Chains A and B, each alone.
Chain A
Amino acid sequence: MNLIQFMGALEIGLLYGLVGIGVLLSFRILDFPDLTVDGSFPLGAAVCAILIVEDVNPWIATFCAILAGMAAGLTTAWISVRWNILNLLASILTMTALYSINLRIMGRSNIALLGEETIFRPLESSSYSLLYTKPIAMFVVAGVVLVLIYRFLSSEKGLAMRATGANPRMAKAQGIAINRQILFGISLSNGLVALAGALFAQGEGFADVTLGSGTIIVGLAAVIVGEAFFNPKVIFTALIACVVGSIFYRLTVAMALNAGFLGTQSSDLNLVTAILVGIAMITPKLRAKILDFKAARNSA
Chain B
Amino acid sequence: MIRMTDLHVTFNRGTAMETKALRGVTLDIKKGDFVCVIGGNGAGKSTLLNALCGDVIPERGTISIDDRDVTALTSWQRAPFVARVFQDPMAGTCANLTIEENMALAMGRDEKRTLKSALNKEHREKFRSQLSRLKLGLENRLQDPIGMLSGGQRQAVSLIMAVLKPMKIIALDEHTAALDPKTAAFILELTREIVEETHLTALMVTHSMQQALELGNRTLMLHEGRVVFDVRDEARKGLTVADLLNLFHKASGLELDDDSMLLS
Contacts and interface: CB of A to CB of B under 8 A. Distances in A.
Interface of A: 151-152, 154-160, 162-163, 166-167, 169-178, 233
9 nearest CB pairs, A to B: A175-B79, A156-B113, A166-B94, A159-B118, A175-B109, A155-B115, A156-B118, A167-B94, A172-B75
Nearest to B92: A170
Contacts of B84: 173
Contacts of B80: 175
A157 B115 contact: yes
A173 B83 CA distance: 7
A176 B114 contact: no
Interface string B38-75: 00000000000000010100000000000000000011
Q: Which of A156, A174, A178 has the most CB of B within 10 A?
A: A174
Nearest to A180: B76
Interface string B82-97: 0110100001111111
Interface stretch (B21-29, B99-107, B207-215): B99-107
Contacts of A159: 97, 101, 104-105, 108, 113, 118
Nearest to B143: A234
B7 to A, nearest CB: 20
A172 B95 CA distance: 16
B116 interface: yes
A291 B97 CA distance: 25
A174 B115 contact: no
A17 B101 CA distance: 26
Contact of B94 (A155, A163, A177): A163
Contacts of B106: 174
A162 to B, nearest CB: 6
A177 B97 contact: no
Given A155-B116, A175-B108, A233-B145, A166 B79 contact: no
Contacts of A174: 76, 79, 105-106, 108-109
Contact of B105 (A154, A163, A233): A163
Nearest to B96: A166
A172 B114 contact: no
B110 interface: yes
Contacts of B115: 151-152, 155-157
B15 interface: no
Given A160-B105, A163-B94, A172-B75, 20 more contacts: A151-B115, A155-B114, A156-B104, A156-B114, A156-B115, A156-B117, A160-B108, A163-B105, A166-B95, A170-B93, A171-B105, A173-B79, A173-B83, A173-B86, A174-B106, A175-B80, A175-B110, A176-B113, A177-B74, A233-B145
B185 interface: no
Given A159-B101, A167-B91, A175-B108, A154 B118 contact: yes
Contacts of A173: 53, 75-76, 79, 83-84, 86, 92
A155 B92 CA distance: 21
A156 B108 CA distance: 7
A151 B117 CA distance: 8
10 contacts: A155-B115, A156-B113, A159-B118, A162-B101, A170-B86, A170-B91, A172-B79, A173-B76, A174-B106, A175-B109
B91 A169 contact: yes
A274 B104 CA distance: 40
Contacts of A233: 145
Nearest to B78: A175
B46 to A, nearest CB: 13
A152 B118 CA distance: 10
Nearest to A159: B118
A192 to B, nearest CB: 17
B95 A157 contact: no
Contacts of A160: 105, 108, 113
Interface in B111-137: 113-119
B113 A167 contact: no
Interface string B225-248: 000000000000000000000000
Contacts of B92: 170, 173
Contacts of A177: 74, 76
Contacts of B110: 175
A152 B95 CA distance: 20
Contacts of B74: 172, 177
Contacts of B53: 173
Contacts of B104: 156, 159
Contacts of B116: 155-156
Contact of A157 (B91, B101, B114): B114
Contact of B117 (A155, A163, A167): A155
Contacts of B75: 172-173
Contacts of A157: 113-115
A155 B108 contact: no
Contacts of A171: 76, 94, 105
